[in-house]
Copies of this chain bind each other. A is one copy, B any other.
């Protein structure tokens, strides 16, 4: 199993420890939570982020909520679980994984047949743990499958953050790096800083440094030159959604990297759980709605203004990389070829 130095969520006995990602990379703060409402707050204020990690946190939140109800019986607890689930899901209403994780624990609650309260609580806790462990195994499988694509001495470019901190395990794109390292390959990484929210600078470079991987931080606009100079052997990114035709929605800037990779004949890999292929109703990338973010994320960096007041801004959160620019999809079920001709 890939052993990470830091994990986003660590379940304990009746409590959950969450690494406060808002403080990274400057401070490593671990918060122990026993009250589900604190986990809601943690999700709301982005202490924890990344689709799989949020889903796992939501599952534990509901399992914790069931533990808090001491003065009631199982029948009553089962009745109030639906309201508690809604409360947790409302922490980030658009996070599909959050709903999914919470629903899984809720279904277990509804299906519970006995009347032993402690057993009920443990049953829910075990389900939350299962979700975490399944995600860990997914990451492991993605990493192992992807590692076979990398050679000893390769340098990988990645965009945004698709690492351990976003999942229950070793991440998606970064799991490939860790698995290759564990297979004895020396792998270097170039990390795009990923404006506007700088996930590459704040999270990817930090996580890789913590794991002892040789990482070099660049501004997004330097990727082209690095490729032209022959510094990059492969690009690996994560993804938020994959349309039925294989088009990939991921953090803004991914499409630019994919175009550059094709121009320089560098393979472009998308790492994700196989289930991401089924995650949307979108038939093609054109059907994936693109969220626009607040102008302030571009005009200010950590509160400091860097642009004229009132300047017009265009800030899409994601872009869509057509299947034709993808060399292959790295999934837990194996490698699925993309649409790039070379």
Residues of A within 8 A of B (CB): 25-26, 159, 190, 192-196, 198, 201-202, 205-206, 209, 214-226, 228, 231, 252-253, 255-256, 259-260, 263, 298-299, 301-316, 319
Residues of B within 8 A of A255 (CB): 224-225, 228
Q: Smallest distance from the beta carbon of A29 to chain B beta carbons, Å?
A: 15
Known A301-B306, A314-B226: A194·B221 in contact at CB below 8 Å: yes
Nearest CB to that of A203 among chain B residues?
B308
Which of A159, A298, A307, A313 is most buried by chain B, counting CB atoms within 10 A of its CB? Answer: A307
Nearest CB to that of A303 among chain B residues?
B304
CA distance A240 to B314 in the complex (A): 28
Residues of B within 8 A of A313 (CB): 216-218
CA distance A26 to B300 in the complex (A): 13
Known A221-B221, A260-B259: A216·B304 in contact at CB below 8 Å: no
CA distance A220 to B218 in the complex (A): 12
Chosen A-B contacts, 20 in total, with CB atoms closer than 8 Å, are: A159-B221, A193-B307, A198-B306, A201-B307, A201-B311, A206-B308, A206-B311, A217-B298, A218-B298, A218-B314, A219-B220, A219-B252, A219-B253, A221-B256, A222-B252, A222-B315, A222-B316, A223-B256, A259-B259, A301-B306
CA distance A316 to B227 in the complex (A): 13
Q: Which of B220, B301, B310, B315 contacts A220, CB < 8 Å?
A: B220
